[in-house]
Amino acid sequence: MGREQLLADVFVDLTDACPGEEFDRTGYLRRFANRCVELLDVSAAAVLCAPPGEKLVPVAASGTDPALAGLLATAPLEGPARESHRTASSVVPVDLLGTGVRWPHFTGEARTAGYRFAGAVPLLRRDRATGSLLLLRTGSAPVPETDMRLGEALARVVAIALAHQETLANYRKVNEQLRTALQSRVVIEQAKGFLAHRMGVSVEEAFEAMRGHARRHSRRLREVARDVLEQALVPDT
């Protein structure tokens, strides 16, 4: 497969973030990291995320190398991924032989894991970084500039896909809340009419009887209403 075709396949894959009702965010980001290794001239990739108001944390990585896992423990504290997230801009790949003073812990872990170069690009959402993509390379040359630009494009696609998924999840949550509220209201209205007829009182008096019963017994009004309909409950007055 040519690189152009591979590139097209990767973009299609990453834009398809919501194939079903359930979205596996970690699995999606792991797929993203693996795709970066497949497409870009890098040895490993990892995704770190930071929801608004929260700290940067590693979420997914390519492969299962224990040494990479150790490196990711320090990546949120120092290194290119942290700087990329903090500045909302890319950190060009640097030679880790010369970063011992700048990033002592990150450099030590990266060198132990066998990496020579490290860079990062931000996951941007409306010009705000919600995370970063850490790119690592062994060998004697850094990640090519063209691959860094491509990594930036992929990161934007992923950030947009995650934002759309978040919007969809919020929509579903609100829709479910509205549906539940509507169902509860229907049950309460039915119970009011049933109870008013049974007790020989007005609809408002029946409602006050249910509400008072719910308060005295620390129950929700819709639960009392359901018992009125299903179990012929007559609230104590």
**Residue-wise DSSP of 105-118:** HHHHHHHHTT--EE
Contacts 24+ apart (CB under 8 A), 196-204: 198/232, 198/234, 199/234
Is pTM beyond 0.95 here? no
- Written out in words, the top-level CATH class of the domain with range 3-170 is alpha beta
Inter-axis angle of helices 145-199 and 25-39, nearest 10: 170
Instruction: Return the pLDDT at 96.
Output: 95
Instruction: Return the pLDDT at 78.
Output: 95
Instruction: Return the pLDDT at 185.
Output: 84
Query: How, if at all, do strands 117-125 and 128-137 pair?
Result: antiparallel
According to DSSP, the residues that pair with 135 across neighbouring strands are: 45, 119
Question: What architecture is the 177-231 domain classified under in CATH?
Answer: Orthogonal Bundle (1.10)
Evaluate whether 152 touches 119 at the Cβ level (below 8 Å): no
Q: What does each of the 237 residues of the chain score in pLDDT, given as a tens digit? A: 667 777 667 667 777 765 555 778 888 899 999 999 999 999 999 999 997 778 899 999 998 778 788 899 999 999 999 999 999 999 999 999 999 899 999 999 999 999 999 999 999 988 888 999 999 999 888 989 999 999 999 999 898 888 777 766 666 677 777 777 778 888 888 888 888 888 888 888 888 888 888 888 888 888 888 888 888 787 776
What are the extents of the domains in the chain?
Answer: 3-170, 177-231
Instruction: Return the pLDDT at 237.
Output: 63
H or E stretch at 98: none
**Which residue carries 């979205």 as its tokens?**
23
Instruction: Return the pLDDT at 168.
Output: 64
CA-based Rg of the chain, rounded to a whole angstrom?
28
Evaluate whether 43 touches 61 at the Cβ level (below 8 Å): no
